[in-house]
Amino acid sequence: MESNSQLRYRPIIDDWDTFLSSAQTPLPYVVRTNTLKIESPALQQRFVAAGIDAVSYAWSDELFEMPEPPGRRIEHWLGLYYAQEAVQTLPVMALDPQPGETILDLCAAPGGKATFIAARMHNQGTLVANEPSGRRQMSLLANINRLGVLNTMITAYQGENFPMGTRFDRVLVDAPCSAEGTLRKESSLQQGASMNTISRLARLQKRLIVRAFDLLAPGGCLVYSTCTFAPEENEAVVTHLLQERDARISPFNIPIKASPGLTGWLNEAFPAEIQHCVRVYPHHLNSGGGFLARITRA
């Protein structure tokens, strides 16, 4: 059923009917191999031996679709995998972390992306996982420990006030957002988010993205991501950074079908380079929805 909130996005979503059908379909169970402890072929052998029909993704051999809730299995408790929506792995792929670098995850809890970054770093270098909420720090710490992450420190700053004493090779801002892209698992979001919520979060997001950019070392890379459809929280936030700083949007490829960033919304025009951002809708990869921007500093 179409809601008034969803209808505001009808002009910008390709294949609207397929989108609506996907939004009403339960999410698949998906896990990401924790390569700090096991490689994907060995994990698949465990599934086969246990009679579990886990199917790897064509575009990422680190991802498996499971026929049952993955949190019930011993492999979860051993830290051999992390239960994670497929779309949530894309920001780390865009960030492209490398061993030996100094990297900041500015909004890190519960740790799905932070532990993926650490795995891509092979536990080499330094990862700072920042989370201001004490309650959410507990889940972040639990996941870091369970997955065998060794190169990470947890900090507890408000992201927009993160200290400027260190410059980072890469920064991820997976920003707090209205989460409309999670509508397949959060039934309350089937009706979309309120404009008051969207406006309030957009103000925070603009502060976060500017501070994240200021924390980059020369030549550094920033990925800004959300799990919402709202242009006010996506393209408008990136446009704000372009207006405030000498930032550039860097084109990048992701291994799935996606839509480009919007160059305009309602009565607002965005810079042409915003089209290099990426919009992902649930029907693109049988997952949730999201937005990605890869930003570089000269």
CA pair distance 6, 175, nearest whole angstrom: 21
Rounded (5°) CA angle 49-51-53: 115
Phi-psi region of 286 (alpha: psi -120 to 50; beta: other; left: phi over 0): left
CA pair distance 127, 100, nearest whole angstrom: 10
**Tens-of-pLDDT digits for all 298 residues of the chain?**
455 556 899 999 999 999 999 999 999 999 999 999 999 999 999 999 999 999 999 999 999 999 999 999 999 999 999 999 999 999 999 999 999 999 999 999 999 999 999 999 999 999 999 999 989 999 999 999 999 999 999 999 999 999 999 999 999 999 999 999 999 998 778 788 999 999 999 999 999 999 999 999 999 999 999 999 999 999 999 999 999 999 999 999 888 989 999 999 999 999 999 999 999 999 999 999 999 999 998 7
Strands 152-155 and 290-297, by their bridges, are: unpaired
Q: Which domains does the chain have, with CATH numbers?
A: 4-26+86-297 (3.40.50.150), 28-84 (3.30.70.1170)
With a CB cutoff of 8 Å and minimum separation 6, the contacts of 15 are 283
Q: Give pLDDT, residue 6.
A: 65
Q: Give pLDDT, residue 298.
A: 75
Kindly list the catalytic residues.
227
Write down the pTM of the prediction: 0.96
**DSSP state for residue 286 in the 8-state scheme:** T
Q: Give pLDDT, residue 229.
A: 96
3-state secondary structure of 244: helix
- Reference 78, options 132, 146, 28, 20; nearest CA is 146
CA pair distance 287, 256, nearest whole angstrom: 12
- Reference 223, options 125, 113, 298, 137; nearest CA is 113
Cβ count near 39 (within 10 Å): 13
3-state secondary structure of 153: strand
CA pair distance 141, 136, nearest whole angstrom: 9
CB burial of 69-83 (b: ≥16 within 10 Å; e: otherwise) equals: ebeebebbeebbbbe
- Reference 278, options 297, 250, 248, 298; nearest CA is 250
Q: Give pLDDT, residue 187.
A: 78
| Rg, Å, the chain Cα set | 19
**DSSP state for residue 150 in the 8-state scheme:** -
Q: Give pLDDT, residue 253.
A: 87
